[in-house]
Amino acid sequence: MAHIVFVETTHLGIQAIEAAKRFGHRVSFITSGNVDWLLTEEDKMIVSQNVDHVWNTSDTQDVDAVRHALKACSTAFPVDAVLSTLHQCVPATTAAAAELGFPSTSPTGIENARDKSRCRQLLDEAQIPSVKHASVHSAKQALAALETIGYPAIIKPTTGMGKLITTFVHSESDVLAHFEQAESQLLNLDLSLRRELSLEFIIEELAVGPLYSIEVGVSAHGEWMPFAILRRKTGAHNPILEMGSIIPCGLSEAQYDEVAQYAIRVLKVLGLDLGIFHVEFIYTQNGPRLVEVNPRIAGGTIPDLIRAATGANLFEYLVRIFLGERIGLTKLECKIAASHSLIGVAEHCTVRANLPENWFEPIQQRLHSGYVDIRPGQIVKKMHTNYDVYGVVRTTADSYDAVVSKIDGFYAEVEQVLGIKLTEIRN
C-alpha cells in the first residue's frame, strides 16, 4: 500500500482520489478551505468518504504552507507521491514536494509551462514551430509589438487559466479596450484566481485552423503516451469560449502521429517529466502550432468524454503514473464516437417561471450523461468566460459526423425547452 497526498481538488479531480482509494492506497488530503466554492456538498461528502487523513493548512497556493502540511503528513506516514489537480495549487504543490524530496512533477517544468512568455521563448530556442509573440505591460507596448506581429492577434496574461482576461484584437481600439478593462476584470475574480493571473501580457500571432487538444502521459520510466486528441468547440461569436469537444478528433493517422510528436517535443523542452498534461494547439496548413500547455491533467469534462469514447479512466492512469508504475500504453483506441457541449447563455435573462422543475429529465434519459443547473424563475447571466457554465450534455454515436449531429440536436432541444438563446457553438 502506497501513500499518496492530494493538495485540494476539483469536482472532476475527485475521481483521482476515488481511484487511489479503490487501488487500496492510503490517501491524504491537504486543504485550506479557501477553494471549497469549487465543490458541491455531495463532492465534499465523496472526498471525506475516500480520504484517510485530512491535513489543514492556511494557504494551498503558498509553498511554505504546503511544505509545512506535507512535513506533518510525512511524519505520520511516509509519502510516496504528491499531486494537485487544481491548476492554481499546482505550482506550490510541486515546489514543496521537490524541496522535501517527494515524487511529483518538476517545479521547473511547471513554471516553464505556466509562464506563457517563457514557454514561447523555450520553443523558439529549440526551433520548435511556434507563432510570433511579444511580452508587454501596457497598451503602448502592445501597439508597438503588433506592428510586427500584425492583426488579428490574441492578448492573454502570461500566467493564467480558463482564458480569463483574454482578448482577440483586430484593431487599435480592441487593444486599448483590453488594457482599460484588465484590472477591473481581475478584481472581480475570486482571490484564488486573482493570485494565479498576471497583468503582464503576451501577444501572440493568431494561428489559423481548427482547435484541438492532446492529453499526454509521462511516466518515470520514460514513457511518453499521447493518449487522446480531441477536436475542440468554441463560441461562434467569441472563440475564447470553450464550448465542448469531440472524440475521435477527425485527424488522419499520419496527422495524429505528427501532433503526438510535436506535443512530446514541447513537453520535453519545457521539462514536464511526470503526470498527464493538457496541450492545446491549432492545426494549421503548416501543421500544429501551440496554443498553450496546462501542466496538469485536463480540466472541464474532457477526461469524462475520453472515458465515454475509450472506456479508459485517465485518473486511474494519473495515480499509477505518480506512484511510479509502468503504464505500457500509447494511443487509446476509441470504441465509439463521443461529444459534449457546455451549456452557456447568450444574454442575461430570467428563466420563465412556468418551466417544469423536472424539465431536463426527459432529455437526460436519452443522453450518455450530463446535467443542466437551470431552474424556473432563475436569473442566468451571459457567458463571458469559461466559468459561466450551467451544465453539459454528452452523447455517443458510431461516427464523428453522427455524434456531431446528435449532440447538436440535444443542444438545440435544451434551448427550445428553456426558451432561452444559448451560446452559439462553432464545431
CATH number of the domain bearing residue 141? 3.30.1490.20
CB atoms under 10 Å from CB of 401, counted, come to 11
- Please state, rounded to an integer, the average pLDDT across all residues of the chain: 95
Where is the domain boundary, 205, 226, 261?
Answer: 205
Q: Assess whether 41 and 140 both reside in one domain.
A: no
Q: Assess whether 110 and 252 both reside in one domain.
A: yes
Q: Assess whether 38 and 91 both reside in one domain.
A: yes
Rounded mean pLDDT of 6-14?
Answer: 96
Largest separation between any pair of C-alpha atoms in the chain: 60
Ranges of beta strands (E only) in 322-385 are 337-343, 349-350, 369-372, 379-380
Task: Quote the cell numbers at residue 88.
Answer: 492554481
pLDDT at 300: 78
pLDDT tens-digit readout, 364-398: 999 999 999 999 999 999 998 888 999 999 999 99
pLDDT at 27: 98
Q: Assess whether 278 and 328 both reside in one domain.
A: yes
Domain-embedded: residue 127: no
Q: In CATH, what number is assigned to the domain containing residue 319?
A: 3.30.470.20
- The distance in angstroms from the start CA to the end CA of the chain is 45
* Domains held by the chain: number: 4
What lies within 8 Å, CB to CB, of 318 at 6+ separation is 16, 19, 83, 85, 217, 275, 276, 297
pLDDT at 183: 87
| DSSP SS3 for 306 | helix
pLDDT at 95: 98
Closest CA to 156 of 143, 142, 144: 142
> CA torsion 100→106→109→114, rounded to 10°?
-60
pLDDT at 188: 83
Q: Assess whether 312 and 242 both reside in one domain.
A: yes
pLDDT at 358 over 90: yes
pLDDT confidence tier of residue 33, bands split at 50, 70 and 90: very high
Could you please report the per-residue DSSP string of 25-77?
-EEEEEE-STTGGGS-HHHHHHHHHH-SEEEE-S-TT-HHHHHHHHHHHHHHS
Q: Assess whether 201 and 212 both reside in one domain.
A: no
pLDDT tens-digit readout, 245-263: 999 999 999 999 999 999 9
Q: Assess whether 190 and 212 both reside in one domain.
A: no
> CA torsion 107→111→112→113, rounded to 10°?
100
Q: Assess whether 154 and 196 both reside in one domain.
A: yes
pLDDT at 152 over 80: yes
Q: Assess whether 110 and 251 both reside in one domain.
A: yes
pLDDT at 96: 98
pLDDT tens-digit readout, 181-212: 988 888 888 888 888 888 899 999 999 999 99
pLDDT tens-digit readout, 304-314: 999 999 999 99
pLDDT tens-digit readout, 88-105: 999 999 999 999 999 999
Domain-embedded: residue 121: no
pLDDT tens-digit readout, 154-180: 999 998 777 888 999 999 999 999 999
Q: In CATH, what number is assigned to the domain containing residue 10?
A: 3.40.50.20
Query: What region does 323 belong to: left with phi over 0, alpha with psi -120 to 50, or beta?
Result: alpha
**Owning domain of residue 360:** 340-427
Rounded mean pLDDT of 338-360?
Answer: 96
pLDDT at 299: 84
Please identify which residue in the block is written with the cell numbers 474532457.
Answer: 302
Ranges of beta strands (E only) in 265-373 are 275-284, 287-294, 337-343, 349-350, 369-372
Q: Assess whether 318 and 357 both reside in one domain.
A: no
What lies within 8 Å, CB to CB, of 364 at 6+ separation is 370, 371
Where is the domain boundary, 320, 335, 350?
Answer: 335
